[in-house]
Structure 1
Amino acid sequence: MIPVGRRPSEPAAAELKRPRRQLTGMRALITLVACCGLILWAARVVWEYRDPTLAEDKAVQARALRALGSRKATERVDAIQVLARLHFADSASAIRPLTPMLGDEDSAVRAAAVEALGPIGSRAVQVGLDPDAVRAAVSALIRVLKDPDPGLRRAAVATLGTMSSTKPETSAGPQVGPPPTLPGGKTMGPASALPTPVDRVAVIAAFTEALGDREAAVRGEAIVALASACSAGDPPESLAAGLGDESAENRKATVRALARFRRGLDPWIPRLLRIAEHDDDRSVRAATVGVLGGLTGPPGATAAAVPTLIEALGSRDPRVRAAVAEGLYRFGPEAAAAIPALLRVFTEPIDGAGGRAGAGSANDSRALSGVAAAALGKIAPGSASAKGVVTALTEVVRSGQGARQAQAAAALAQFGPAAAPAIPALVRMAREAGPTHAPESENEQAAAWALGKIAPGTPAVDEAVAALEDVLRSRQAPSRVAAVEALGRLGPNAATCLPMLRALREDPDAEVRRAVKHALAVLVLGDEGKL
């Protein structure tokens, strides 16, 4: 304490002034914040008055909100539908007054409220508006799943699916805490950790319960919604109920829903294979075959599924076998154990009468052999079985028929120079389909392409060049393109073909001219000015 009548020292005076400066600074900060808020409010008001459409939308919203209290059910329905059509920034604020309408005494009002909460609730989630109101709406919608009206239950499932799949605009931040866990200990995947007011665990549990609804339409909607909600993780085991649903449409919906998943599909592959072969409904079998090729390979399936797929290559249905071969193709060298089975599939004759009615058509057989050949070309190069595969494919080129020769040639091309023993057979194949024979553009083109990939650097390169020169005279433009591109890959060894290539700069086909231009740029070193 400073005695009366004595001037305080400079340090003491500074100590006395410090609280006053702090108080003054705090007041200035509060004033600044208040001014900023006032400026922002004023700017918003001015903007709204400058935008007559926004002002009108707000007026429409206000009238519709008042009409929610009307005694006439038709007016309440109209008001709800108006609110659902509004799309300005604050239109999602209608979620709070709209939620109680889910308990309205009139079923039409309840139905309108359920439908409207889809777009309104999604916008509220997206912009982060009133999280408590979003949670209340979700809880109310889950209760609607007990409503006696099946149409209302189905609409509630759809709306919950829309809201649960909507991501907040501010959800790009880091995850806080572990992701929610489903019954059975599985997590919902990264997407489930997004900061959203929607209780995804409760919603998924509601979808799972709806899979047992007595109405097929409700179960079908639940299948789609459940898959959408969980697609970032493993397929929930509860989807298995959909595969056994009495409704064929729901079984198809489940199969297509599984196609959305990008992991955890190994245990589902045996089930899908059984459905593809044995389901009572032909459309279900066709839908399953249609997605099997994508489901049975990476990323959804792992190499642990390869033994199951190899066994499935023995199916009586060529469409199932083709889908399985496609899955093995996706694994590449990881599926090396499948090489013997794929060779059998490619080389053996397919019984056109085998399997189900229509399953053994010529088109199915051709598709199966084509996928098997492609899988061999992807899996076998560099493997311990490579030499044997080249020998088998070469024999098909030498003595096979039509499309299978072209398929074998395309597979051999993937081996590169390691398939050099096949060059004589490919040369013969190219010449047999030449200009003096009936047009076989597919074989001609495949042989030319394979020679361009295999012959470089091999002792038989000159033989390949001579055959490709013959293909340059083909009546089929795709064959001429393949031959030109192949000669470009053969480099200086193709110099003897330069006169013919220059003549083809005037070819009537634009693709041929394009290929020639590129090939000459490669072959005529330092002579690009003559292109």
Structure 2
Amino acid sequence: MGPASLLRVFWLSGCGIGPMGMSGMKLALLCSFRACSQLPLSARIQGMKFNSHCCGAWLCMIALAAGSALLGEDAEVERFAEMHPPPASWQIAGIRAAMSDPSSHLRATAIYHCVLKHWVGQCLKVEELQPLLQHANDDERSAAAVALGELAHETGPEVAEALVPLLRDSSVEVLSSVLNALIKMGGKAAPVLSRELPALLKDADITVKLCVLNAMLQVSKKAAPYATALLPLLQDADTKVKCETAQVLGEMALNVNAPEAAPAVARALLPLLKDADTWVRRLAVRALGRVDPGTAPMVAQVLLPLLQDPDEEVKLMAVTALGSLGKEAAPTVASALLPLIEEGVDNDVRNAAGEALGTLGKAAAPTVVPLLLPRLQHAKSNVRERALQTLSIMGRALAPYDKALLPLLHDPDSGVRYCAVDALGEAGKGTATYFKDLLPLLQDPDDSVKRIAVGALSEMGAGAAPEVVRALLPLLKSAGNNMLSSMAAAFWEMRQEAAPMVKELLPALKASSRQMQIEMAQCLASEGSIATPYIRLVLPLLHDPDRLVRQDVVKAIGRMGSDAAPYAQDLLPLLHDPDSNVRKVVLSTFRAMGRAAAPFAKDLLSLTQDPDQTVREILLYAFAQMGPEAAAVLVPALLPLLQQPDLFSRHDVVMALDAFGNFNQDATWQCAALAATAGLSANHTQETRFHLYLWSGHDADLILSVRWLGGPAGDPMPSQGLSATEQQAVLSVLLKLWPHSAPHPALRREMTGRIAQVAQSITAAPDEKVVGLLKKLEAQLKADAVVDSQEASAKARATVQRSLEGK
């Protein structure tokens, strides 16, 4: 997901009615967690070996720190991003009603809500979205296009053709949405895009060009079939357009998604290597390295001279690109890169060359490995170490050459031993091939070697895990704080196999430090109830005077998810812990419990007044997960929070209420909800009204009340008037709500206007039931005791009386 995509997700998550809340932050954190998980073992354990790992390692640490503070634990973030429960029947009913509202802005909000929730397929229909493409409102046209893209499996070529006029839309947002939709439609839209893209880009202004490129970047791999349509942009007069085009082409993975386009793309990129702009050269080099192995020999010949480029970044990108060219170019590339890992070469270049050789070796080990093996015997330890670092990148491709590596496990230099363990661990990952060879390294005098050995052993696969766990038991007892993170990472890797080994593992943990006990509890807790013995071991530490200890124990409990419910009573006192970070992770734990936390909803309500804003935000997300079992407690308590803007963002409160709606079909609650639009701007009113529809999906009368009240954008009275049945329905709803509207004078004044409007619309002799309803309403208007609405009631009463008199 690129920056533009994240920004759009953040905007959608807010629906325009407040700050993005925590959902956007969680997605960003999730991206960082996943990026970190792709780092090699050595980079995860020690930090960084090659320069390119530095950024990922630091991002990882930043993400983990933020995750600890905001969310309690990364597994909870993963669940948040990946769980997309389907809409309940009442939510579908509310959304269907919203789609019939006259407000374009409201309908667009409804569509984006469905997109964000992954509800498009259940709530929206192609035949109702397609006409919206012609509407005047930019937001609605854009939203309809986005939703049609989500319904790609249901659309036909006719929908793709219907989107064509919007490719010339004046709104960049609409154009971007249409392009994304067409690309998602795949083969159904291929004839349309192939025909329209060249014409769209020809003589287009820079805004349109960048919009097209940005749209393709967001779905880069799916856009690969249209790569050749972008090639003229590589010759554009604007440097930014050339850069963006090279970037997009580099992200398309043409070797997989459009191999037939690769040669043409490679040829078109070549002239950019001599461009005066360094960024153009950099991105062209990067793209060439990603185009297609079939063009590798040609690309190699062009990239090799760039190893002498005066721009350092161009040189580094050329090195990286050369490493990705595969076995066809390996003989030429390997011999060119080898000198760059020598001493005396710039450190960044040397590291990049080592990584490039390692990448090349994955695809062409017989060519690359023999060039590096002699360095394993070099007198200087740093030469041996760098050779091993490069070899470790090759992973399983290195296994046939393991005899040359095994002796280095006993090298006198600890750095060499470290790298040898790492290389053999990568070569045998998923197997126990080197178990006996690596086992003695757990006793190595150097802690860094022990740490990498622990990691390598833990990645030998499920079959070897029980033996590895047994081998690590002594370390649980004796390891100091410098081994904690490595042991935690190892047991996390083996958690499924380790958790059931209670009889062997628990005694060792009892003999270990309390910090080790907490670390292991956190690792194993995600296995649910089977981790109960490890949680019970650390449970007394919930009362520890050290706030960090209390916080870590709560995190461990939280990782049990719904299985943490038996410990809810133990956590309740910590809701009032003096440390806000402890309160945050306690709430995150209740949130992770989901519906199992519903019995404790009332206990959590006091935190709505917590002085910490993040605590209050997490509280609302916890409420939203509790399900209908908590509705009786939460629905009445949450609505008043909309009137506390100094404590709660409107978005967060609305998000929590979206999980319940007017669950008990309560008229008093409905009036308070309808009154919540008072004082809002026009757009915010319509956005809030969408949620009123959603909350009212439990009952047809509630939906009707939203149609007529709460500041609708247009006149709810149909041009042809109301039938007798419709008159009865509207008047019945107004009569039902009237007694409950007294605390909301503005709403009551609005109701008097609607009563008068319906009465005035009756031109024929009224239906008997309508007469009865009008008489009851006339009596209510006469008895209105709300000073601020009495004048409006008197006017409405006069209108009703005239209607009853047939005037």
Normalising by structure 2, we get a TM-score of 0.36
Q: Which structure carries more helix by proportion? A: 2
1:430 paired to 2:430: no
Residue 295 (structure 1) aligned to one of 456, 459, 465: 456
1:376 aligns with 2:524: yes
Pair 1:471-2:619 in alignment: no
C-alpha spacing 1:514/1:258, structure 2 compared with 1 (3 Å): farther
- Indicate conservation of the 8 Å contact 2:595/2:626, yes or no: yes
Q: Kindly indicate whether residue 526 of structure 2 is the aligned counterpart of residue 317 of structure 1.
A: no
Segment of structure 1 superposing worse, 322-331 or 201-210: 201-210
* 3-state secondary structure, aligned to 1:236: helix
Once residues 402 and 486 of structure 2 are traced to their aligned partners in structure 1, the CA distance between those partners, rounded to angstroms, is: 24
Shift of 1:259: 6.3
Question: Which residue among 480, 491, 494 is the counterpart of 1:328?
Answer: 491
The normalised TM-score by structure 1 is 0.52
- Map Cα deviations across residues 308-343 of structure 1 (whole Å, 9 max, x no partner): 234424321233354223222223322234445655
What's the offset of the Cα at 1:485?
1.9
Deviation at 1:414, TM superposition (A): 4.0
In the TM superposition, residue 394 of structure 1 has moved relative to its aligned partner by 4.7
Counterpart residue type for residue 656 of structure 2: A
Quote how far apart the aligned CAs of 1:119 are.
Answer: 7.4
Are positions 1:227 and 2:392 aligned together?
A: yes
1:53-86 per-residue CA deviation (whole Å, 9 max, x = no partner) reads 979xxxxxxxxxxxxxxxxxxxxxxxxxxxxxxx
Identity %: 17
Say whether the 8 Å CA contact 2:458–2:468 is kept in structure 1: no
Q: Does structure 1 retain, via aligned residues, the 8 Å contact 2:499–2:524?
A: no
Alignment partners' CA distance in 2, 1:125 and 1:443: 47
Measure, in 2, the Cα distance between the counterparts of 1:417 and 1:121: 46
**Aligned pair in 2 of structure 1 residues 428, 265: CA closer, same or farther (>3 Å)?**
same
How many Å separate the matches in 2 of 1:218 and 1:264? Answer: 28
2:552 is matched with: 407
Contact 2:395 2:423 (8 Å CA) reproduced:
no
Gaps of 5+ in 2: 1-266, 276-296, 305-314, 664-669, 671-690, 696-807
Q: In the TM superposition, what is the alpha-carbon distance from 1:202 to its structure 2 partner?
A: 6.0
Q: Which of 226, 230, 238 is matched with 2:404 structurally?
A: 238
What is the CA-CA distance between 1:236 and the residue it aligns to? 2.3
Cα distance, 1:375 vs structure 2? 1.7
2:448 and 2:486 map into 1 onto residues whose CA distance is 11
Cα distance in 2 between the residues matched to 1:230 and 1:160: 17
SS in 1 for 2:411: coil
Q: CA deviation at 1:376?
A: 2.3
* One-letter identity of the residue aligned with 1:522: A
Please give the alpha-carbon distance, in whole angstroms, between the structure 2 residues aligned to 1:494 and 1:423: 19
C-alpha displacement of 1:509: 6.8
Distance 1:490 1:346, change over 3 A: farther
Aligned residue number for residue 445 of structure 1:
584
**Which protein shows a greater Rg?**
1
| Residues 377 and 384 in structure 2, CA contact (< 8 A), matched pair in contact too | yes
Which residue identity is paired with 2:525?
G
Supply the distance in 2 between the matched residues of 1:345 and 1:478 (Cα, whole angstroms).
38
Q: What code does the residue aligned with 2:655 have?
A: H
- For the Cα contact (< 8 Å) 1:393–1:412, is it kept in 2? no
Q: How far did residue 217 of structure 1 move?
A: 3.9
Query: Relative contact order: is structure 1 or structure 2 higher (C-alpha 8 Å, sep ≥ 6)?
Result: 2
Partners of 2:580 and 2:612 within 8 A in 1: yes
Structure 1 counterpart of 2:520, which letter?
A: A
> 1:375/1:344 Cα in 2 relative to 1: closer, same or farther (>3 Å)?
farther
1:285-326 alpha-carbon deviations (Å, 9 max, x no partner): 23653x56753444x544413332344243212333542232
- Over 3 Å counting, the alpha-carbon distance change for 1:494 and 1:159 in structure 2 is closer
- Summarize deviations over 1:405-433 as a string: whole Å, max 9, x none: 433333333445544432322223324x2
Distance 1:207 1:519, change over 3 A: same
State how far apart, in whole Å, the 1-side matches of 2:512 and 2:326 are: 61
- Contact 1:243–1:251 (CA<8 Å) still a contact in 2? yes
Deviation for aligned residue 1:377:
0.8
Within the alignment, does 1:204 sit opposite 2:204 as a pair? no
Residue correspondences, number: 360
Q: Which residue of 1 aligns with 2:661?
A: 524
CA distance in 2, matches of 1:121, 1:401: 47
Separation in 2, partners of 1:158, 1:390: 44
CA distance in 2, matches of 1:121, 1:469: 55
2: distance between equivalents of 1:286 and 1:443? Answer: 32
2:466 equivalent to 1:306: yes
Amino acid across the alignment from 2:411: D
Residue in structure 1 matched with residue 735 of structure 2 by the alignment: none
Q: Retained in 2: the 8 A contact 1:242–1:251?
A: yes
Q: Give 1:482's aligned residue.
A: 618
| Alpha-carbon distance between aligned partners in 1 of 2:273 and 2:620, rounded to the nearest angstrom | 63
Contact 2:557 2:589 in 1 (8 A): yes
Check the 8 A contact 2:319/2:352 in 1, yes or no. no
Q: AA paired with 1:376?
A: L
Q: Any residues of structure 2 matched to 1:510-521 within 5 Å, and which?
A: 514-521=651-658
Q: Mark the CA change 1:225 to 1:470 in structure 2 (over 3 Å): closer, same or farther.
A: same
Query: How many angstroms apart in 2 are the aligned matches of 1:294 and 1:268?
Result: 13
Q: Which amino acid aligns with 2:479?
A: D
Question: Aligned partners of 1:323 and 1:339: how far apart in 2?
Answer: 21
The alpha-carbon deviation at position 488 of structure 1 amounts to: 1.8
Change (3 A) 1:338 1:416: same
1:501 aligned residue (619, 638, 651): 638
1:92 matches 2:301: yes
Asked if residue 456 in structure 1 is aligned to residue 617 in structure 2, the reply is no
Give the superposed CA RMSD.
5.2
Change in 2 beyond 3 A, CA 1:417/1:271: same
* Residues 345 and 372, structure 1, Cα contact 8 Å, conserved in 2: no
Structure 1: distance between partners of 2:272 and 2:487: 60
Amino acid at match of 1:317: A
CA deviations over 1:328-379 (Å, ceiling 9, x no partner): 22233222344456555666672xxxxxxxxxxxxxx64x344312222123
CA distance, structure 1, for counterparts of residue 510 and residue 554 of structure 2: 13
Matches of 1:296 and 1:278 in 2, distance apart?
Answer: 14
Partner in structure 2 of residue 110 of structure 1: none
Alpha-carbon shift at residue 223 of structure 1 (Å): 1.7
What CA distance in whole angstroms lies between the structure 2 residues aligned with 1:94 and 1:329?
Answer: 42
Contact 2:359 2:394 in 1 (8 A): no
Asked if residue 286 in structure 1 is aligned to residue 448 in structure 2, the reply is yes
Contact (CA 8 Å) 1:270, 1:308: kept in 2 or not? no
CA separation of 1:337/1:128 partners in 2, compared to 1, >3 Å: closer, same or farther? closer
Q: 1:323 and 1:402 mapped to 2: Cα distance?
A: 23
- Matched-pair contact (CA < 8 Å) for 2:388–2:423: yes
- Residues 223 and 500 (structure 1 numbering): CA distance in 2 closer, same or farther, change over 3 Å? same
